[in-house]
């Protein structure tokens, strides 16, 4: 983990347009107080029961926030990319509670950590509040969607949905798909084989070619 100079206000505003509408002195104070860190892919940024140290802004890369099962499997809750912020951190700061999920850098990631007091100060800025409220609203909707999926949808439906909307050619492994679903590799292989037998996809090493998006959509929606 390397520490470097914070970005200037211009660079920050380019990523987070909301800061253009925040009082300039408040923004500058935050940039001054923040420290920017750069971590390699795979770094665990926080974990269950950790206290929350500050408010992270992702400048580059991506954080994967997931719940870990006792047996080591993980279910991703959501991702935080450049221009977004980690809503779970906000939640912890606001409620003064501990983290209840794990955050891992998925790529080499640069982030700017604002100390808690800075975060509190930003809450006084109406545009920043609106920004945060919208993110909260989005994540709540996403989490409710996720609850529905894991509770009611079968794995083939979830897999079909996962394959869609990423272009015709997916470059990924069965293991990665399983990780995305909170399942295991063998099951994904089995299900993909089923899809291939129906002519929905063509399989290759580290790739899945979508042959029949409509068919996959049908499975995702109805389970056939």
Partner DNA sequence: GCCCGCTTGTAACCGAGGTTACAGATCGGC
Partner DNA sequence: GCCGATCTGTAACCTCGGTTACAAGCGGGC
The least distance separating its own copies from the CB of residue 133, rounded to whole angstroms, comes to 5
Q: How deeply is 59 buried, as exposed, middle or buried, from its count of CB atoms within 10 A (0-12, 13-18, 19+)? A: buried
The whole-angstrom separation of Cα 87 and Cα 67 is 15
Q: Which of 80, 101, 98, 91 is nearest to 133 (CA)?
A: 91
Q: Which residues, 6+ apart, have CB-to-CB distance to 30 below 8 Å? A: 114, 118, 121, 122
Q: Is 126 in the site for its own copies (CB under 8 A)?
A: yes
70 binds, among DNA, its own copies, none (CB under 5 to 8 A by kind): its own copies
Residue span binding its own copies (CB under 8 A) among the ranges 109-117, 140-148, 165-173, 192-200:
140-148
Residue 184 binding partner per list its own copies, DNA, none, with a CB distance cut-off of 5 to 8 Å that depends on partner kind: DNA
Interface residues with DNA (CB under 7 A) are 71, 73, 154-156, 173-175, 182-187, 189-193, 203, 205-207
Q: Which is nearer to DNA, 88 or 208 (CB)?
A: 208
Report whether 19 contacts 79 (CB < 8 A).
no
Closest CA to 82 of 149, 21, 7, 147: 7
Where do contacts with its own copies occur on this chain (CB under 8 A)?
Answer: 67, 69-70, 73, 75, 77, 87-88, 90-92, 94-95, 97, 100-101, 123-124, 126, 129, 132-134, 136-141, 143-148, 150-152, 182
């Amino acid at each position: 983990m390397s520490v470097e100079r914070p970005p200037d206000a211009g660079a920050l505003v380019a990523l987070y347009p909301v800061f253009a509408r925040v009082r300039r002195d408040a923004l500058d104070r935050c940039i001054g107080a923040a420290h920017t860190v750069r971590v390699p892919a795979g770094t665990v940024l926080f974990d269950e029961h950790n206290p929350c140290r500050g408010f992270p802004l992702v400048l580059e890369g991506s954080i994967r926030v997931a719940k870990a099962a006792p047996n080591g499997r993980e279910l991703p809750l959501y991702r935080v990319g450049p221009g977004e912020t980690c809503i779970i951190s906000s939640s912890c700061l606001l409620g003064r509670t501990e983290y209840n999920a794990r955050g891992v850098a998925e790529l080499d990631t640069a982030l700017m950590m604002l100390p808690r007091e800075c975060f509190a100060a930003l809450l006084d800025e109406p545009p920043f509040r609106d920004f945060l409220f919208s993110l909260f609203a989005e994540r709540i909707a996403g989490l409710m969607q996720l609850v529905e999926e894991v509770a009611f949808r079968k794995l083939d439906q979830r897999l079909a949905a996962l394959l869609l909307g990423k272009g015709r050619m997916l470059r990924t492994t069965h293991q990665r798909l399983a990780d995305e679903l909170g399942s295991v590799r063998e099951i994904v292989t089995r299900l993909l084989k089923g899809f291939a037998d129906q002519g929905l996809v063509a399989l290759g090493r580290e790739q899945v070619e979508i042959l029949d998006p409509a068919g996959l959509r049908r499975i995702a929606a109805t389970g056939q």
